[in-house]
Amino acid sequence: MIRTRDGETVTPKNESQAHALNALYGNAVGRGALKVLTAPALSKAVGAFMDSPASKPLIDRFVKSNNIDTSQYIMSGIDSYNAFFTRRIKSGKRPVDLNKEHLISPCDAKLTVCRINEDSLFAIKDSLYSAADLIGNERIAKRYTDGLCLIFRLEVDDYHRYCYIDSGVKSANVFIEGELHTVNPIALEHYNIYKRNSREVTMLRTESFGDVIQTEVGAMLVGRIKNRHGKGYHFTRGEEKGMFLFGGSTIVLLIEKDKVEIDSDILLNSAENCETVVKYGEKIGIKASSTTR
């Protein structure tokens, strides 16, 4: 279930790409086919097609089938499917909360917040991850025990660019390749533990919220994540950090214990297994008071 900040229930968008991939992941024959489809050469060829003018006819069908409101976006100069997918939003449509005490959403998304403990498993793009699985580093993951995991799931009509949640300095971008096993070792009813999506991990040393780990999650199939800056970059709150091309659609933040107090409506919705609609630059929490530390 999805709710707005006003408490209204929202109908999820049709995610045909996700449904098609899940059908393939669900059996050994499909996973064998995906091994071919996700081969580097073919994946690059599909990516090149999505970047080319030949992909432009796909745009109108995509807009109609997903009921996308293009009036919010700058639509001039779009000459490929990926140019449309990463379209820029019009000035003033996503104001950024500049209060240094406020934690902001890095993107348009449906947000779920979870507490991190040693046994936590998080459902991300229909797979299960521990914090260590997600970032590929067990030692660093332990720092976030008793902290918070914020999962931002983008749908097809969301703005696919994302921003920095505060001002600070960043680490290098660490890319983790996706994994797909053709044999299903353990079958779960709803989640695939035999696949891991490609992802890019960054440590953000923020001014207000400590060391926050941001992970962008792509897909096995032509998933591409484009971050703009490298190690040592001094970023500012609300500055564009990067974008998702076709196939990328989730951001995860790991926040240390007692650094942030998440807004009560988001916590209540998460406790009821309900996602909350949030927007790029919108307040979603506040710096933890000294009495909670």
Within 8 A by CB and 6+ apart from 213, the residues are 135, 140, 144, 201, 202, 203, 204, 253, 254
Q: β-strands 250-255, 148-153: how paired?
A: antiparallel
Active site residue 130: no
Q: Are 281 and 163 in contact (CB under 8 A)?
A: yes
Active site residue 52: no
Candidate list 198, 249, 263, 270, residue with the active-site label: 249
Question: Measured between alpha carbons, how far is residue 126 from residues 41, 188, 209 in Å?
Answer: 25, 11, 29
Return the structure tokens found at 144.
Answer: 């976030």
Report the C-alpha gap between 146 and 67 in whole angstroms. 40
Report the C-alpha gap between 216 and 160 in whole angstroms. 11
Candidate list 80, 105, 108, 270, residue with the active-site label: 108
Catalytic residue IDs: 108, 249
